[in-house]
Amino acid sequence: MKSKQKINKKNTDKKNSKVIHENSKCFECGQSPIEGIRYYCLNCSSYDLCQKCEKKFGEKHGHQMLKLIRPNDLKKFKHYIVKIKQSQNINQIEEKGETKIDLSKCFSKCMNLKKVYTTRNNNNFIPIEIIIKNTGDENWPTPCFFTCEEKSEIKGERVKLVKCTGKPGEEYTFKIKILLNNIKKTGTYKSIWVLKNENGEEFGEKVVFVIKDIFEKDLNLKKNENNKTRDFRDDLEKNVNEIKQKYDILFSASTIRNALIRTQGNKENAIKILYTEQKMGKYNRY
């Protein structure tokens, strides 16, 4: 009997894994669309979890989750979900004695934003320390999260603002990680971040981090270009004229040119040779 139960369980798992929930996305791992069982939060406006993430984050999230096995389950229970959410919002407001926060009146500013953050590609991520200030007159919703937008060229891990009271005028210092795994070449990339409440609703100003990622191979090529010495023949005629004008040497231009070629363009050594040969009377003056 046990073996039959195991086989039946495996078969149901296989069936569930083939189910695809269109227009859904796991809030934690980003799987889109969600395959298998979808867990839909009855409290948050846009919080879904896949089967794996529900095991990790379901209890931590703390809200009641609706288990959706079939793709059309959400439409089927939509009427009841709306009623449940409305009743929960009313109960929460009555219990806390709070009014709903108007997010359009919540303002924020990044106090230590740099123009460009430069890094090397041998790093998997770039850590950045952030100071966010409540610059408005309204309290922020709590808890709140600093989240990277989907349209960003490079992504980052969501950060919860720990011990954030959201009071006006207060500053909050924390670190974020901007991931560099998907970058394939040296260039400048943008990562866009914004504050969100626990329901995934945005508030405050968007923060744009400009990341300049340099690959080691490109850096070495640049070094080689900078260190590349000019060929002495490039300045040969210029040095010939300079020697003729500045020094007491009475030889022809071709003789001076030959002396420079013999010394690989070293002007000082060429002048020494010419003075020595001049004393010995080896060369003609024409």
Pairing verdict, β 171-179 and 65-68? unpaired
> Residue 119 CB: number of other CB atoms within 10 A?
17
How far apart, in whole angstroms, are the C-alpha atoms of residue 40 and residue 271? 87
Domain boundary among 195, 219, 243: 219
Residue 265 within any structural domain of the chain? yes
Mark which of 72, 96, 120 sits at the end of a domain.
Answer: 96
Tell me the β-bridge partners of 196: 145, 202
Confidence (pLDDT) at 11 = 52
The reply to whether 163 and 56 lie within a common domain is no
pLDDT the model gives residue 131:
94
- Could you tell me if 211 and 173 lie in one domain? yes
- DSSP 8-state symbol, 137: S
127 and 203 share a domain?
yes
Residue numbers of the domain that contains 251: 232-280
The domain that holds 49 is classified in CATH as 3.30.60.90
Neighbour tally for 218: CB within 10 Å: 13
Residue 285 counted as domain residue: no
Q: What is the dihedral of CA 70, 76, 80, 85, to 10 degrees?
A: 60
In this predicted structure, what is the pLDDT of residue 97? Answer: 47
pLDDT digit string (tens) for the chain, length 286 residues: 445 555 555 555 454 457 888 888 888 888 888 899 999 888 776 788 999 999 888 888 878 888 888 888 887 777 777 667 656 554 554 444 455 788 888 999 999 999 999 887 667 888 999 999 999 988 999 899 999 998 899 999 899 998 888 899 999 999 999 988 888 888 899 999 999 998 889 999 999 999 988 776 554 544 444 554 556 677 788 888 888 888 877 778 888 888 888 888 888 888 888 888 877 766 554 3
The pTM assigned to this predicted structure is 0.47
Claim to verify: residue 85 and residue 114 sit in the same structural domain = no
Q: Is residue 227 part of a domain?
A: no
Q: Report how many domains make up the chain.
A: 3
